[in-house]
Amino acid sequence: QQQVKQSPQSLIVQKGGISIINCAYENTAFDYFPWYQQFPGKGPALLIAIRPDVSEKKEGRFTISFNKSAKQFSLHIMDSQPGDSATYFCAASTSGTYKYIFGTGTRLKVLA
């Protein structure tokens, strides 16, 4: 019940295309859902985060779509660029513990 399932494991997208990564959870107590970007040998960096009271949040080229009833959320990267090639992790946490449960990660490669 504490797991966060992430798919796909890897993704190849052409430059200018849309990259879509999906996550699903079971624990309805989760109330904070961030997405992180990680480059090889570096720590993760926050991209965007959402709480269950909204269904969509957009920041620049990054959009989170959140479906509370389906317990799913996804990251959309518009106009994908080669510089976006990295590993992306979704996570979920609950207020109180603030501990993150991370998804398994998606390795994105954007072709020039």
The smaller minimum CB distance to another protein, of residues 6 and 63, is found at 6
Taking the complex as a whole, how short is the minimal distance between the CB of residue 79 and another protein, in angstroms? 26
Taking the complex as a whole, how short is the minimal distance between the CB of residue 44 and another protein, in angstroms? 5
The smaller minimum CB distance to another protein, of residues 55 and 95, is found at 95
Taking the complex as a whole, how short is the minimal distance between the CB of residue 53 and another protein, in angstroms? 12
**Coil vs helix vs strand at 100:** coil
Kindly list the strands in the beta sheet with 62-67, ordered across the sheet, starting from the edge strand earlier in the chain.
4-7, 19-25, 72-77, 62-67, 56-59
Which of 6, 91, 93, 1 lies closest to 47 in space, CA to CA? 91
The smaller minimum CB distance to another protein, of residues 28 and 95, is found at 95
Categorise residue 25: left if φ over 0, alpha if ψ from -120 to 50, beta otherwise. Answer: beta
* Residues contributing to the site for another protein (CB under 8 A): 32, 34, 36, 41-46, 49, 89, 93, 95, 97-105, 107
Tell me 78's DSSP state.
S
Taking the complex as a whole, how short is the minimal distance between the CB of residue 5 and another protein, in angstroms? 11
